[in-house]
Amino acid sequence: MTNIVKFRFESVDLMRISNEIRTKVFIEEQNVDPEIEYEYEEQGNYYLLFYDETPIATARWRTTDKGIKLERFALLKEHRNMGLGTILLEKILSDVKKFNKPIYLHSQVIAKNYYQRAGFVEEGDHFFEADIEHVKMEYKGI
């Protein structure tokens, strides 16, 4: 059983849980510098995915001058490849499509096929963020 909770930066307890997941995935697993990981926090619209009442994934979106940017998708390792990340992505897409703005993200190259299956298309050259190869992807729908 899954449940998704939406919240803003001001929800201190939910932000703490979200940050714990991000710390495990990005800082501990992928060695991302915390100063890079925790930026634009106040601008985000956050989500937590609960599985059997346990928080296992988080993500956010924010408005930029280029449209709606989806960011910080983090799913705990032991829950990957079960379709749970797709549930979270579909919920966020459902929420942001109504703004009628371009929807994009910077995908780690190792995850680009996941986003392509969800309707995202590569845009431009690969680049590095936090020493991890990324590519910009824009949502075109499926």
In a domain, 51, yes or no: yes
Task: List 47's β-bridge partners, or say none.
Answer: 6, 59
* Rounded CA separation 71/88 (Å): 12
40: which DSSP letter?
Answer: S
Q: What is the pTM of this model?
A: 0.94
**pLDDT tens per residue across span 75-89:** 999 999 999 999 999
In a domain, 58, yes or no: yes
Q: For residue 40, what are the domain limits?
A: 2-101
In a domain, 46, yes or no: yes
Distances, alpha carbon 105 to alpha carbons 11, 17, 38, 102, in Å = 24, 23, 17, 10
What's the CATH code of the domain at 34?
3.40.630.30
In a domain, 47, yes or no: yes
In a domain, 137, yes or no: no
In a domain, 136, yes or no: no
Confidence of residue 6 (pLDDT cuts 50, 70, 90): very high
